[in-house]
Chain A
Amino acid sequence: MTYGKFAPFIHTDRTVSFMEASYLIALLPCVAYAVFMYGIRALVLILTSAFLTMFFSIFLARCNHKAKKISLNGVTSGVLFALMLPPDTSLVIVVAGSLFMSLASEMIFGGVAFMPVNNPATARILVELMWPEHLRGFAEAGGRWFSLKSLISFGRTSSSVGSQLEDYHIGELMTEGYPSYIGLCSVLIMVIGIIYLIHTRTVRLTAPVSYLTAVIAIRISLHFRDGIKSNLSFVLVSGIIFVAFFLLTDRATIPQNRPGGIATGIICGILTAGAFELTDGILPLCVPVVSVCLISGLIEYLTSDASERHEIVKEEA
């Protein structure tokens, strides 16, 4: 026999590992800025979350007698989860969130690729509902750079934000950072990561762009009397940009076809804009994402080609 494997014999370098690594690299600017802004505690939070998520995934898989390799998916989930936490979060909450993410993905659904909902967003909602008073530690930048006290204390925290949003200049909101969740404090830094993601063509932009368009359009239509600065401040500080490009680009839970991506983005945007009218914080960001993920299968089905829906198309003779 003189023949063997079927073609093709070359392959693009954009493998799953490459895409996972790109995602992680895109988050590094947010990680670095978080450490710069909030000190070592932010670094410890992020590293702990990433390590524990990966560790628990491997451990639980081994408990199920499944061989599991170290995957960047767990690390990325852990980093995303940590970036949505306030700087004064206790490590207890991080451990709980990491354990939940690993349990949900490995034990219940058999892997991150099979999760029906966004793992970090779900874990964040869970810890928010379980310990709402322990996740209010928004710190000002600088000061306690080497302090690790907040990591080991599990007391109720109160918001330590001194200044109001209106006191911040637009430029300050983009660069110096409004006290917020550790990864969401600077849009400019986020944009660096987003540009990298787009450059590596790792993500599709239909859902994020549709989401942002819907949120901004609804926000402006409801709050146009508040002025440009107020609406722009909302866009920069609320975290919708982070959600758009780092949660709504999850291939496993968001439809990847164009109509599906647009529909998902719009629905999520409407829910987010509406939720922000009722409350603020992390819930208006994460709850719509998780809700849309639950129906993403239906959205994908309805927006797919007719033949996929088993519809009979009668052709003219």
Chain B
Amino acid sequence: MENALEFSKRSSFKREILLEKLYPSKIILPMKMNYGEAAVPTVRVGDKVTIGQCVGAPNPGSFAVPVHSGISGEVTDIRTITLPNSVICKAVVIESDRKRTYHPSVYPRSDVNVSASKVRGIVKDAGIVGMGGEGIPTIAKINMARRSGVDRILVNCLQSEPFANCDFMRISESPEYIIMGSVALAGAVGVKRIDILISDNRKEEIAALQNAMQMSAGDYSGFIFNFKYFKERFPQGYYGLVAKALYGVDLKEGETLESRCKAVMFNCSTVYSCWEAIADNMPLSSRIISVSGDSSEGHNVLVPVGTTVSEILNTVNDNIKTAKKLVWGNCLTGLEIKDPDNTPIIKTTSAISVITRKEFETTSCIRCFRCEESCPMGLEPSLLYNLLRRGLQYRAEDEGAGRCIACGCCSYVCPATIDLTGAIASFASKINKNEEHPDKLSFAEHTKINIGSVSLLETHEEDEETSVDVHDPDDIVLPFEGGKLI
């Protein structure tokens, strides 16, 4: 990828392998942490909850995912909150009782030899969504992949944004979960080929994955693993750029990796969560967050989903009173936080960034064309900005403003510090939400999926290809030939 920014040397992490576990005093669990609709709270104020317990369930027929508690305690409030991404939804507030009591259903599964359809059911019920930032329910992606007839899955280990390291932490700490999760997802999709996308300078992570593959080789016979190496450049992990890099395909509007390239991509943290749900029967209720910024010592924190930003920042050594800004997400694509005490991290939040440097003063454009050089989508941000400033919105749309992916590269490199991303990305999101446009269909409509149609208590949908009698767990289908007892 020619137009890209290299941030491999920008990490402020001094001790990359450090992972801290945080047990917050309370969590605020939004009912909508995914692309789609919000779940409905299934608890009331005063209810006692345990770790792994479902506190929000999708309405039948809705494009929503369940929400589970990552701490044990008492529900103290159910209120409407506004997240930094402008999502307004109900949220369940749980105060911790410090007991760390697990739900009875959360225990290591004695037999992980589960069928492909059961994997899909587990993924759906565990509330797993794309943890790389997309937030698309993983079961929806699996079903879409099956309908599209994909022939491989891609495991995205390309975390190229600055000051974020959570995915690499996950790979280093639990590579076997990544491998087995990949196998499980491949089986769920119905493919044999797994391509791991990773930066070529991540030697430790590559070695960890390869070692894990060797150790568990007997558990995935028949599956083919490939490593695809990339230069660590931002935003290489974006699906459109992966399509271009791997398959030489320029995805047009409305096209996806599944439809055009016959491949489906999952973030490595998502893959980990899938295997955690299969092997440990633990739903998605916690994740690793990178806490870093332009001058703080960075480290990673394993936190329950819903932990407030202020509690996470208490783990940072820096004096956060000097911070100019707190960012929900990474520095290039995140959102500013104004109220850290009441802003929770959600399933798709990968980082909390602390910005200490003051902003540069904006000057007039000097026509250096650096924005054009850095745009991964091949747009001309300076031209688009001028068109939008002059009110020529139709011209800006003709020039491809709708293809902006809001990566922030143009604003980052602009010597005049013009807010190109803000202007163009806002316009792009406005025109992409236009429901009258025939190509601008929502994910659910396009894939014709109603993932909320099966509640947690109903049996999982069996498909025709794997219509195996699963009364006897020894009737192994795929992919865990030979069984694996924990």
Contacts and interface: CB of A to CB of B under 8 A. Distances in A.
Interface of A: 1-12, 14-16, 18-19, 111, 113, 251-252, 256-257, 305, 307-308
Nearest to B85: A3
Nearest to A71: B363
B334 A256 contact: no
B82 A10 contact: no
Contact of A18 (B359, B415, B425): B415
B86 A3 contact: yes
B333 A8 contact: yes
Contacts of A3: 82-86, 328, 335-338
A207 to B, nearest CB: 13
Given A9-B355, A256-B367, A256-B369, A2 B333 contact: no
A6 B428 CA distance: 14
Interface of B: 82-86, 162, 294, 325, 327-329, 331-339, 342-343, 353, 355, 357, 359-360, 363-364, 366-369, 372, 380, 383, 398-399, 406, 408, 411-417, 419, 421-422, 425-426
A252 B331 contact: no
B366 A6 contact: no
10 contacts: A1-B338, A3-B83, A6-B426, A8-B332, A8-B412, A8-B421, A11-B417, A12-B413, A18-B415, A252-B366
A11 B332 contact: no
B363 A10 contact: no
4 tightest CB-CB pairs across the interface, nearest first?
A: A8-B408, A4-B336, A6-B422, A3-B84
Contact of A9 (B336, B369, B380, B399): B336
B368 to A, nearest CB: 5
B363 A257 contact: no
A5 B423 CA distance: 12
A7 B407 CA distance: 9
A118 to B, nearest CB: 14
A237 B162 CA distance: 47
Given A2-B82, A7-B332, 11 more contacts: A1-B82, A1-B338, A3-B336, A3-B337, A6-B335, A8-B333, A10-B294, A12-B415, A15-B360, A111-B364, A251-B366
B59 to A, nearest CB: 26
Contacts of A7: 327, 329, 331-335, 406, 408, 411, 421
A237 B82 CA distance: 68
A305 B369 CA distance: 13
Contacts of B419: 6
A5 B426 CA distance: 12
Interface centre among B294, B342, B353, B411 (most CB of A within 10 A): B411
